[in-house]
Chains A and B, each alone.
Chain A
Amino acid sequence: MTALAALIRRDIKIALRVGGGALIGVLFFLTVVVLMPFAVGPDLALLTRLGPAILWLGALLASLLTLDRLFMADHEDGSLDLIVMGRTPLELACAAKALAHWIAAGLPLVIATPVLGLLLNLDTLSTSAVALTLLAGTPALTFTGMIGAALAVTLHRGGLLLAVLVLPLSIPVLIFGVAASQGAISGLSFGAPFSILCALSLVSFVIGPFAAAASLRHGLD
């Protein structure tokens, strides 16, 4: 267990350093949310209606942006080979890395949501709803995104391919995340989409590490 804990701590430390990429995800999130009103118009009523969707899209794109450094940095300095060859099962190591990545890159997005909600004229209830759904959904985004990151790690221009591979898999999370937020805001069904969102996250905790480990094993031969 200490090996995994050490891996998590190491990853978080690296990610939080300057140039580590974690906080730049939040910056990108902010940029996307700021750009939306310029595209959609300053009509506050419209922004309120679109608010949850804009926040979810911004979070999804921001987490996608930081995903390729999940394995890339380790691959470049050779530590990925060490992790693959190590005694800890590769599936658990991948899960640990994904967890660290979520703590360093996904959680800040959730924390930034209330602030950004102000820009979109969302009230406290709506913002909390969106933040809660993001809390439940960003792990799914990280863990499924890890599959694409593992597939693309050995490719030089892997970043774009990663996005293409991961986006179709993120669509269900997006659908249920926004639906749950809207459900909480309008007072209609929140429980159903939220439970499905949690279920998607739980499923990704299993599929993600297994698929990523398989990709790494086969890809680094």
Chain B
Amino acid sequence: MGLINVEVDQLSPRSLWQIASSGWRDYQDAMTLIDLANPTKFLSLTARVMPWLVATTAILLAIGLYQSAVAPDDYQQGATVKIMFIHVPNAWLSMFVWGVMSLAALGTLVWRHPLADVTAKAAAPIGAAFTFLALVTGSLWGRPMWGTYWEWDARLTSVLILFLMYLGLIALWRAVEDPSRAARAAAVLTLVGAINLPIIKFSVDWWNTLHQPASVMRLGGPTLDRAFLIPLLVMAVAFSLLFVTLLLAAMRNEILRRRVRSLQMVQASRRVA
């Protein structure tokens, strides 16, 4: 542990964070695994891993699509159950990506991890895209099921609110010029959003049962039949891998963008001098 002089009567949450994070820093210095935190090392690792990721993702997507195509029809919904194989993985991912961003937010605020900012910024648009897909496919699934393109049921409404939160987060990223300040503001908003997500989900569920006694059809019973479960899981894994691939690529771009920015500032100061 590094030497920290903290007066006992000054112990506050702030100094406790300082002790924790300095301890983590010492640990980091000792561990070469954390060389991964170095952006340049990260870039070279990504370059090596990317082809494998792309190949695996493509293969899994192909398998998943094939399995979705040959899956049987549901006794209630017919072939429209095939939409579920896209809708559900995207809905799961929309929340999972917010979870990833929340971890990155902790990395930014608590540990000042250099790649945390980059991860959070890169993940936001990808998460928003998955949320958008969940909404659109949910809407297209709803038309045959409920007769309207939009239905204020608990699931769709929660995803809509999540989408608005993604858009707000992206707007905040763009609103602040300095990357590290933007990262910290976005980190606070991400964590507040993470705390609020269960509250919002609970509220919307509650609101929905209040106004609308159960009208959502269940898929052939409480548990999903194996014939539907396997394609669903394959597609879920495929989309998750897709997210990881896109995230690493977007992180790479973000690192390069910051490099461009700092070099441009060097160039500008040179011109002045």
Contact = CB atoms under 8 A, between A and B. Distances in A.
Interface string A181-198: 000000000000100100
A211 B175 CA distance: 19
Contacts of B168: 161, 164-165, 168
The SS class assigned to the B binding surface is: helix
B213 to A, nearest CB: 14
Contact of B109 (A151, A168, A214, A221): A214
Contacts of B109: 214, 218
Contacts of A168: 161, 164-165, 168, 193, 196, 200
A184 to B, nearest CB: 14
B171 A211 contact: no
B63 interface: no
Contact of B189 (A151, A193, A196): A151
B113 interface: no
A180 to B, nearest CB: 11
A214 B188 contact: yes
Nearest to A154: B176
Contact of A218 (B167, B188, B193): B188
A200 B185 contact: no
Interface in B151-197: 161, 164-165, 167-168, 171-172, 175-176, 181, 184-185, 187-189, 191-193, 195-196
A155 B176 contact: yes
Q: Which of A152, A155, A175 has the most CB of B within 10 A?
A: A175
B200 A165 contact: no
A202 interface: no
A197 B61 CA distance: 45
Contact of A161 (B161, B171, B203): B171
Q: Which of B161, B164, B200, B210 has the most CB of A within 10 A?
A: B210
Contacts of A221: 181
A179 interface: yes
B210 A179 contact: yes
Contacts of B189: 147, 151, 165
A214 B195 CA distance: 15
Nearest to A208: B192
Contact of B175 (A155, A179, A193, A207): A155
A154 B176 CA distance: 9
B151 to A, nearest CB: 17
Contact of B203 (A175, A211, A215, A219): A175
Given A169-B196, A218-B188, 10 more contacts: A164-B171, A165-B168, A165-B172, A168-B193, A168-B200, A169-B192, A171-B161, A175-B206, A215-B185, A215-B188
Top 6 closest A-B pairs, CB basis?
A218-B184, A172-B203, A175-B207, A164-B168, A165-B168, A175-B203
Interface of B: 109, 161, 164-165, 167-168, 171-172, 175-176, 181, 184-185, 187-189, 191-193, 195-196, 199-200, 202-204, 206-207, 210
13 contacts: A151-B185, A151-B188, A161-B168, A168-B165, A168-B193, A169-B193, A172-B196, A175-B207, A179-B210, A207-B192, A207-B195, A218-B185, A218-B188
